[in-house]
Chain A
């Protein structure tokens, strides 16, 4: 409940500041400021040996000042936009597959008795708690050329007369690992939503003669859409920025935005361009979040409390 501001005593106000100010200042310095720096960095020239060129310089020959050069460079060749599009497709595919895999599980958890539910949710979270690199490494083993899976797969292909294939270092491997790493992010919001569904609605539908599939399609699914949206956003956005998975499990052509950004900062030493790419990624993320918020708000009107 809202407490009217007039009831705040001086002691209350002091307490309020003591509690609010330290985290605020910390995040201002270590999150807001760096983000602003990044925006500015995208308008600078690259330093002669890496990093950023100075803003001001007494020597007129040294490159300094602000420029739109990096943005022009970004748009000068289709290739960078292409990588963005590829990354968005990868994120879409990952989100879709996560949704298809997570939904039955979330449904089952939501329909289970309370005690089992907690255990099942914990079992979903536990793999997520392990180190991200370990989870990626696990797929290196499972998909490796000497692994049982790969050999099985190739022997099946052999039956059809198709040449053997490397499962690892391919877009397939990248997709599998992306789904694997983000599955809990889809399961939990879905489950949270499904759990709140009023079972009497389904009872009523059944009474009205709806089949199981019809009950799902016309009752459960529409009501679960807010959960679907939150889960999708929680998967889509991180996937856009990942570089580890394509780097370790992907083939040479599997470059996503994250890989490009990492390369600019740690290999090419072109910090302005790296910042530009980061800004473009941020804009993409904000756009997605905004779209999801709009879609979620519209659908939310139909959801049960």
Chain B
């Protein structure tokens, strides 16, 4: 088969490399300056781990980190559960309305979800904003992602397996437990990991539903950026990026189809 590369191929490569550089250089600079021995993110002075030490002694930051972890764990667990159910309901039973309800929080601008939840929590539930409100909010937007991943995993399965199971007399519950679930488990875990990452990273929705007294990492980073920028922000950013890198790599092994863009 002929390939039509030649000069055009070279141009494409140049363009692609330029785009990758555009995507990675700013982040590389953030990481680089986290080791910079200077308060200003301006020029390289010398290598130091000082900012990481500052980070480890920053009590507010540590509390925010532990809050973020707790919220992410809890919300991703529930979101994975509900999202897997939703994925099954949409794929197996063609529940179109649920499909719409699950995907819209993902597709809409985040500020709309944040603001409507704020209204709802205060006006209707009279709930004091805090941990609970944040966790509920995070579950709401994470369900969609998990459902998408699970749906893709289900679509990749051969339908005949389920017919075979049914013919052998398995109830729907048994089919799910012994056939479906083990097969989609990698996808479920990948979805859970994504939900975890989304929760750790979320800013906009948390911003509106957090109230006072509960800080999460993104909220803390935001107030640091607005009030007093120091390379401590670079340090926490680097650590966060490292964590999400590991998680995404894990997830990509478990649900390769999603990361090929097939959804």
Contact = CB atoms under 8 A, between A and B. Distances in A.
A26 B119 CA distance: 17
A232 interface: no
* Highest count of chain A CB atoms <10 Å: which of B85, B245, B262: B85
Interface in B110-137: 110-113, 115-120, 122-124, 136-137
A33 interface: yes
B122 A20 contact: no
B139 A121 contact: no
Nearest to B116: A34
B15 A241 contact: no
A243 interface: yes
Contact of A265 (B115, B123, B176, B226): B115
Size range of the chain B interface in the assembly: 35 or more
Given A23-B98, A30-B136, A134 B123 contact: no
Contact of B113 (A31, A132, A275): A31
A208 interface: no
Contact of A203 (B1, B33, B109): B1
A20 B244 contact: no
A22 B84 CA distance: 11
A37 interface: yes
A105 interface: yes
B120 A34 contact: yes
Contact of B221 (A37, A104, A131, A147): A131
A139 interface: yes
Contacts of B123: 37, 41, 51-52
Given A34-B119, A127-B27, A129-B244, A242 B109 contact: yes
Interface string A159-191: 000000000000000000000100100001101
* Highest count of chain A CB atoms <10 Å: which of B97, B116, B241: B116
Size range of the chain A interface in the assembly: 35 or more
Interface in A8-46: 11-12, 14-16, 18-20, 22-24, 26-28, 30-35, 37-38, 41
Contacts of B8: 212
B171 to A, nearest CB: 5
Contact of B2 (A15, A206, A243): A206
A104 to B, nearest CB: 4
B50 to A, nearest CB: 18
Contacts of B178: none
B111 A24 contact: no
Nearest to B97: A24
A281 interface: yes
A11 B171 contact: yes
Given A131-B221, A265-B115, A278-B116, A141 B26 contact: yes
A27 B260 CA distance: 29
B1 A105 contact: no
Interface string B161-198: 00000000001110010000000000000000000010
Interface in A77-122: 101-102, 104-105, 107-109, 111, 117-118, 121-122
A23 B11 CA distance: 48
Contacts of B118: 265
A125 B204 contact: no
B124 A33 contact: yes
Contacts of A124: 23
Given A11-B173, A133-B222, A31 B159 contact: no
A195 to B, nearest CB: 8
Interface in A230-285: 237-238, 240-244, 248, 258, 261-262, 265-266, 271, 274-275, 278, 281-282, 285
Counting from the closest, the 5 A-B pairs by CB-CB distance are A241-B109, A138-B26, A34-B120, A15-B172, A104-B15
Interface of B: 1-4, 6-9, 11-13, 15-16, 19-20, 22-27, 29-30, 33, 40-43, 82-83, 85-86, 88-89, 92-95, 97-98, 101-102, 104-105, 107-113, 115-120, 122-124, 136-137, 139-140, 143, 147, 159, 171-173, 176, 197, 200-201, 203-204, 208, 217-218, 221-222, 225-226, 229, 233, 237, 240-241, 244-245, 247-249, 252, 256, 259-262
Given A34-B120, A105-B19, 19 more contacts: A16-B93, A20-B89, A37-B123, A101-B22, A111-B12, A122-B252, A123-B20, A130-B201, A131-B200, A131-B217, A131-B244, A132-B218, A137-B30, A140-B225, A215-B4, A240-B109, A241-B108, A248-B225, A285-B108
7 contacts: A31-B113, A105-B19, A105-B20, A126-B245, A141-B29, A147-B41, A278-B116
Interface of A: 1-2, 11-12, 14-16, 18-20, 22-24, 26-28, 30-35, 37-38, 41, 51-52, 101-102, 104-105, 107-109, 111, 117-118, 121-127, 129-142, 144, 146-148, 180, 183, 188-189, 191-192, 195, 199, 202-203, 206, 212, 215, 237-238, 240-244, 248, 258, 261-262, 265-266, 271, 274-275, 278, 281-282, 285, 289
